[in-house]
Structure 1
Amino acid sequence: MQLSSPYPCLRFRCCPSYPAPRGTHIVGAPASKKLIAFAGIKDCFTCSTGHTRTKGNFLKATFNALQATYGYLTPDLWMEQLPAQSPMQQWSDFLAASKGIKMQ
């Protein structure tokens, strides 16, 4: 069973959400279903605890969970960084050009 990608677990305060197997669609309250669907997520389990009677607070918690998830960078989004030169490579020309210390 494969999990939907590229979303890791959404966890934020009273509204944790988990990736679901493909084809299950969004499982949760109608208000959170709409918000998660607008975010473009196709498969997701949600559950809520605490004070969720106020729809505004519940949707704000869902939005914050989505915002925290999209702030997560997966390895395919990392910038490519070239390896730094070792100090021996970086200063080899300078060291070769130096005349050295003369002892008397």
Structure 2
Amino acid sequence: MSEVKLLQELHEMKTLIKQNYINEKPILTSKELELYLNFSESTIAKLAASKLIPFSKPTNGARFFIKQKIHEWIEMHSISCEDDAEKLYQSYNKKRKSR
């Protein structure tokens, strides 16, 4: 195996270990959240500064993100798909017809 190939595989293994470590943690730092959501550092900073994403700041320094709250935040901002829209439309029509 060539040295380049070996280094690539080593890098992939380090990335997988880091991702697994982050997946197990209930509370994430800004850097870990960047990796977890695949967002840039500036995006996380802007969302936090605008108070658009839930975070804790127990000291005047670092921000911490509770993974469960991040999942809830993502779900809260979901966009309905066509199936959801169709179900809403059918539900609305049933209510109208029953009047």
TM-score, structure 2 length as denominator?
A: 0.34
Report the structure number with the largest CA radius of gyration: 1
TM-score, structure 1 length as denominator?
A: 0.33
More helix by share: 2
Q: Higher RCO, 1 or 2 (CA under 8 Å, sep at least 6)?
A: 1
